[in-house]
Amino acid sequence: MKVALVCDWLTNVGGAEKVLLELHQMYPKAPIYTSKYSKKGIDWFDDADVRTGWLQIFPAKMRRLLGPLRQRWFSKLDLSEYDLIISVTGAEAKSVKSGKWLHAHGKKAVNPKGIHISFCHVPTQYYWQMYDDYVKDPGFSVLNPIVRFFFKLMVKPLKKADFEAAQRPDYFITISEYAKGLIKRYYGREAIVIHPPVEIDDFRVKAGPVSTSFSEVMGLGTLECHTLDRGQNRPNGRTCPGRQEYTSQSSKSGLALRPQKKTYCHPLSSEYYIITSRQVNWKRIDLAIKACLKLGRKLMVVGEGPEHKKLVKLAERSDLIEFVPLVDKKKLAELLAGAKGYIFPSLEPFGIAPVEALAAGCPVIAFGEGGALDYVEDGKNGVLFEKQTVKSLAEAMTRFEGMKFDRMKVSKSADGYSVKRFEKEMKDFVDEKVG
């Protein structure tokens, strides 16, 4: 089967790129067509045949201004030779036309039976569900008034073109029940839900970071829990929390401690909340910072992005807020396992980062709309809050702190989002539609 992969752009690391990476591993010989590719921004596809066009000449920072040009470029691509096209998109990549679509519309197609499956994680947000937010803050600083004026002027024909492009895929797959509803609402198309792949096994650490202070957590690695029973002391004098995590066995050298199968040691000091995210305005990291300042709680903000300076200023140099640059997966797993809770204040169609937190045994405090409803169960593996306000989040955090969560069960709640599950469901769907 001849396969082509298509995505909006490849300029940074994110959830859509993780989906594309898994599809690339499933179809390693499939070329990847995209409007813009930056190896500096993402190095996951060095072994892939990535194909760009004339839009590659534009700098990555102009991406949000190039929607109409991207739509034209994707719609003009001749991919009719392929048996299967899979687009991973939340913008214009769905504009590509399969051989089946071309043939049905009386146009020349090399392979008139070739189909297009669009893995559409959300309708184009700046035209539809987030239009008001985008108009309020287009994200171009002093140029916002100019961008806002022209965007309002052009949005009607752009929405029409986006709707027409959404009629071209033969099938839609999406990432959550929330996104499925948006695709039906704005595009009039049915979609099936296949949750994105999350590397849950990489976030399941057998022992969390043990720290005596907030600042120490960055310097400490994973420490094993050496104890005979809960309440007894470790060699370093600290007390083992929670329940018995390790069993004892006899050996020639005396008593040896062996970890029980699939157990996770609670950290001694879970004194901080954590949020890991690209720092852009719609992620609403500001809510997490303000709520923690209001309640006097410590917060670790992991990541980077264009809003970083604003967020640092918002934190008012408080010792409660610590900013941490991007860290490797092992360190991130430790930070998540050591946190009191993960704060997820944004409205997103899914959210891979909070599922990673769940896998690490870290319960999630999430805004009660969007994709989070697929995996956060209030009172079981986290808490939901009703409004994107500081008051609502702070109240949820207070309620959260009055609850007890079994971190083993929290970790197990992420089981349904593994990479293997994603690969199987995608393969089954492709086999059904392509044969």
Lowest mean pLDDT among 209-218, 361-370, 402-411: 209-218
Residue 181 in 3-state DSSP? Answer: helix
Per-residue model confidence as pLDDT tens digits over 277-327? 989 888 999 999 999 999 999 999 999 888 999 999 999 889 899 999 888
33 has a pLDDT exceeding 80: yes
Q: What pLDDT, on the 0 to 100 scale, is given for residue 290? A: 97
Q: What pLDDT, on the 0 to 100 scale, is given for residue 223? A: 31
Which of the four pLDDT bands, split at 50, 70 and 90, describes residue 130? confident
Distance CA 184, CA 123 (A): 10
423 has a pLDDT exceeding 70: yes
249 has a pLDDT exceeding 70: no
| Mean local confidence (pLDDT), 247-264 | 33
Strands of the sheet containing 3-7, edge to edge, are: 50-51, 32-34, 3-7, 84-89, 115-120, 171-174, 192-193
Per-residue model confidence as pLDDT tens digits over 177-222? 999 999 999 999 999 999 999 999 999 865 444 333 344 444 433 3
| Mean local confidence (pLDDT), 18-33 | 96
| Mean local confidence (pLDDT), 12-36 | 94
- All CATH 3.40.50.2000 domain ranges of the chain, comma separated, are 3-197+420-434, 272-416
| Mean local confidence (pLDDT), 160-188 | 96
Q: What pLDDT, on the 0 to 100 scale, is given for residue 287? A: 98
**Beta strand 364-367 with 298-302: parallel, antiparallel or unpaired?**
unpaired
The beta strand positions in 105-236, using DSSP E, are 115-120, 171-174, 192-193
DSSP state of 47: T
Distance CA 122, CA 176 (A): 9
The beta strand positions in 281-324, using DSSP E, are 298-302, 321-324
361 has a pLDDT exceeding 80: yes
Which of the four pLDDT bands, split at 50, 70 and 90, describes residue 366? very high
Which of the four pLDDT bands, split at 50, 70 and 90, describes residue 155? confident
Which of the four pLDDT bands, split at 50, 70 and 90, describes residue 336? very high
pTM value?
0.80
117 has a pLDDT exceeding 90: yes
Which of the four pLDDT bands, split at 50, 70 and 90, describes residue 254? very low
List C-alpha distances in Å: 182 to 27, 136, 358, 425: 29, 21, 26, 22
Q: What pLDDT, on the 0 to 100 scale, is given for residue 205? A: 67
The CATH superfamily of 272-416 is: Glycogen Phosphorylase B; (3.40.50.2000)
Q: What pLDDT, on the 0 to 100 scale, is given for residue 184? A: 97
Q: What pLDDT, on the 0 to 100 scale, is given for residue 371? A: 95
386 has a pLDDT exceeding 50: yes
Per-residue model confidence as pLDDT tens digits over 66-100? 888 999 999 999 999 999 999 999 999 999 999 99
Q: What pLDDT, on the 0 to 100 scale, is given for residue 270? A: 53
Per-residue model confidence as pLDDT tens digits over 227-247? 323 333 333 333 333 323 333
Q: What pLDDT, on the 0 to 100 scale, is given for residue 206? A: 54
Two tokens, residue 219? 């310097």
The neighbour count for residue 380, using CB atoms within 10 Å, is 14
Residue 136 in 3-state DSSP? Answer: helix
Q: Name, of 237-241, 346-350, 380-384, the range with top average pLDDT.
A: 380-384
Distance CA 390, CA 172 (A): 36
Residues 346 and 324: beta-carbon distance below 8 Å: no
Pick 247 or 360 by higher pLDDT.
Answer: 360
Q: Give me the CATH topology for the region 3-197+420-434.
A: Rossmann fold (3.40.50)
Residue 22 in 3-state DSSP? Answer: helix
260 has a pLDDT exceeding 60: no
Residues 362 and 27: beta-carbon distance below 8 Å: no
For CA atoms 139, 142, 146, 152, the dihedral sign is: positive
The neighbour count for residue 234, using CB atoms within 10 Å, is 15
Q: What pLDDT, on the 0 to 100 scale, is given for residue 30? A: 98
Q: What pLDDT, on the 0 to 100 scale, is given for residue 259? A: 37
